[in-house]
Structure 1
Amino acid sequence: MKGKVLIAVFHNFALSLKGIHRMILYNITWVTEAAVEETLIDYLRSTFIPSVIADGSMHSPVLHRIEKGAQEEGVSLALHFFADQSTDIDEYWCGLGAKHIATLIGKFGNRVMGFATTMRRIEL
């Protein structure tokens, strides 16, 4: 019986992973100076990410530090969310998204800048 349960759990996990491949990846790249990096990360963790998740349009956030070349200055962070459909991202921006960004700009001013990219996975 244990083997059947394990197979069923693995099968459901595999199906859930397969579903992730069909989702839309929404990336926001933040660029800031090194002196602001930890404050920005704290803000993203404590305020920005929970606010986006609470909206319900996007889920499964992941934050990455982008490796930089020796000549590059500053710090770049990539914040990924998944959305089930691209319209979920549109709904976010038409709803609370603009407010979330305005709050971030109010806190950091021109010390942080960002740009967003929406991506859809291509099966190989």
Structure 2
Amino acid sequence: MLVYNTTYNIDEEVLSNFLIWLHEVYVPEVEKNGILVKPRLLRVLSHRDENTECFSLQWEVESSALLHRWHLEIGGKLNNELLKMFGNKVVGFPTLLEVME
């Protein structure tokens, strides 16, 4: 099993709108096709800046091939929507992790 993690650094000025968008648009849209499952949203405590907050959104995915398919079919579109709505006030970087135990 793999974990697809995206860590977001969010400007406090758009934080509440970003969290609403994440819960009402992003997560439901990702869940529709069933490739990424079991979403978990975590607050990152170790990287706090004065005017930003960090969150980690994690999903389980069976394989890197399925994740690649998800990026081609859905991920790119959602990333473009994120950029259009929040610009540089929300910056995310993905990490693919392997569950060892």
TM-score after normalising by structure 1: 0.75
Q: Which residue of 2 aligns with 1:44?
A: 22
CA RMSD, Structure 1 to Structure 2 (Å): 1.4
Give 1 or 2: higher strand fraction.
2
Moved over 3 A (4+): none
Q: Report the Cα distance in structure 1 between the residues aligned to 2:58 and 2:35, rounded to whole angstroms.
A: 13
Paired residue total: 100
Q: In 2 relative to 1, CA 88–32 (structure 1 residues): closer, same or farther, beyond 3 Å?
A: same
Show CA shifts across 1:19-62 (max 9, x none).
Answer: xxxx1100011111112111111110000011111122111101
Deviating more after overlay: 61-70 vs 90-99: 61-70
Query: Sequence identity of aligned pairs in percent?
Result: 26
Show CA shifts across 1:33-92 (max 9, x none).
Answer: 11211111111000001111112211110101111457x331001000001122111110
Q: Which residue of 2 aligns with 1:92?
A: 70
Q: In 2 relative to 1, CA 32–97 (structure 1 residues): closer, same or farther, beyond 3 Å?
A: same
Checking the alignment, whether the CA contact within 8 Å between 1:55 and 1:96 is kept in structure 2 is: no
Unaligned runs of 5+ in 2: none
Give 1 or 2: higher helix fraction.
1
Unaligned runs of 5+ in 1: 1-22
Q: Report the Cα distance in structure 1 between the residues aligned to 2:34 and 2:47, rounded to whole angstroms.
A: 36
Q: Report the Cα distance in structure 2 between the residues aligned to 1:46 and 1:67, rounded to whole angstroms.
A: 24
SS of corresponding position for 2:15: helix
Q: Is 1:32 matched with 2:10? A: yes
Q: Report the Cα distance in structure 2 between the residues aligned to 1:52 and 1:121, rounded to whole angstroms.
A: 21
Say which structure, 1 or 2, has more relative contact order (CA 8 Å, 6+ apart): 2
